[in-house]
Amino acid sequence: MNYKDVLKEAGFLYSDEYELWIKSKGFGQSVSVEMFMKGLFTIKKGSRSYTTDGTIIFDGFINDFNEFKEIIKKL
């Protein structure tokens, strides 16, 4: 299992247009996960303008795979 499998299980879909993982939260809200390099992620929640709007929930390196799964589980 890798980070993509965790995101798929959590209901995220990959957007080729935005090059990130997106999960709809309803009423025009969403959560997005973007990986810049191995272990470096930005996770945002907010409006559907994925590249500019939103509140950053996490921005940095994730120490291990279990930490990543716990962060995604909370979304």
CA dihedral 60, 71, 9, 75 (to 10 degrees): -110
Cα angle, residue 55 at apex, residues 16 and 47 outer, rounded to 5°: 55
Tens-digit pLDDT profile for residues 19-65:
899 999 888 788 999 988 888 998 998 766 566 677 888 899 998 99
- Identify the pLDDT of residue 21: 94
CB contact at 8 A, 42 and 34: yes
Q: What is the pTM of this model?
A: 0.81
